[in-house]
């Protein structure tokens, strides 16, 4: 994604977890008459992704040592206990929340001077806590550290990516009307970028809350093809 790198965010690719048990066999547990094999035993977790681009955009972004950068991203991906995600150390003494916060501070100033968003720029990111300090972005970091998608199954409209998270990140100022979650046609980077950079100011309330800031690469339209893998080629 040629413009995405400028925004410090790229889409992550989810690696499948492998197992060493193909299932079936005489010792397989009962299948309740469905003839389904048992679930395979999973190996060590190697990756996780609830919200695309978060680990890429907010973890070890400016680390010059490639090995250290990879180690930090691996530490994030290998964290398997959800209750400890926020306090997981990606480097010695550096938790996920602290690592995210220092990079969110950079995003927060990227809309400075953009009249269609908020010309003041700084201190308008979601859940920013004044006055300016090392902890001003910790609340949003905590929301993002909880790396899982939330879905309101009572809502039939799912057009707004991060609908529930945006409500939380704007302190309830933007009440969710969509189900949340993620569909293949969501422009996840534009939504994330707008939230990080300008909070509530980053969305056009009069136009279905479309994100006002973006990476220049639109969402995919070729997501229901008739041949495998049923999706179009990734953006270059």
Give the per-residue pLDDT at 13: 31
Give the per-residue pLDDT at 130: 93
Give the per-residue pLDDT at 99: 97
**What's the rounded Cα separation, in Å, for the pair 205 and 196?**
17
Continuous H helices in the chain: 54-58, 66-78, 96-108, 138-145, 163-169, 188-198
What CA dihedral angle connects 49, 53, 54 and 57, to 10 degrees?
150
Please list the rounded mean pLDDT of every run of 10 residues in the chain (236 residues): 39 33 46 71 86 94 96 96 96 97 93 84 89 93 93 91 85 86 87 90 84 83 74 73
Give the per-residue pLDDT at 74: 96
Give the per-residue pLDDT at 165: 86
The DSSP symbol for 19 reads B
Q: Per-residue DSSP letters for 162-214?
A: THHHHHHHTTTSS---S-BS--TT--HHHHHHHHHHHGGGGEEGGGTTEES--
Domain boundaries in the chain?
48-211
Give the per-residue pLDDT at 32: 56
Question: How far is CA 42 from its chain centroid?
Answer: 24
Q: Is 95 helix (H, G, I), strand (E, B) or coil?
A: strand
The DSSP symbol for 153 reads T
What pTM was computed for the model? 0.76
């Amino acid at each position: 994604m040629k413009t995405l790198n400028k925004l410090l965010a790229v889409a992550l690719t989810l690696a499948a977890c492998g197992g060493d048990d193909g299932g079936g066999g005489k010792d397989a547990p009962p299948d309740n008459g469905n003839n389904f094999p048992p679930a395979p035993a999973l190996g060590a977790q190697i990756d996780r992704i609830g919200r695309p681009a978060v680990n890429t955009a907010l973890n070890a972004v400016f680390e010059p040592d490639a090995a250290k950068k990879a180690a930090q991203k691996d530490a994030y991906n290998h964290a398997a206990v959800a209750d400890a995600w926020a306090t997981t150390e990606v480097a010695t003494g550096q938790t996920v929340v602290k690592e995210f916060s220092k990079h969110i501070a950079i995003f927060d100033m990227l809309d400075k001077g953009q009249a269609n968003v908020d010309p003041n720029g700084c201190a308008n990111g979601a859940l920013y806590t004044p006055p300016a300090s090392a902890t001003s972005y910790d609340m949003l970091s905590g929301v993002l550290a909880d790396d899982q998608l939330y879905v309101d199954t009572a809502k039939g409209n799912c057009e707004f990516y991060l609908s529930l998270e945006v409500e939380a990140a704007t302190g309830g100022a933007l009440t969710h009307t969509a189900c949340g979650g993620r569909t293949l046609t969501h422009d996840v980077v534009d939504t994330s970028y707008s939230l990080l950079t300008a909070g509530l100011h980053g969305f056009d309330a009069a136009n279905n809350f479309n994100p006002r800031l973006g990476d220049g690469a639109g969402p995919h339209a070729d997501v229901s093809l008739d041949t495998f893998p049923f999706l179009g080629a990734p953006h270059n």
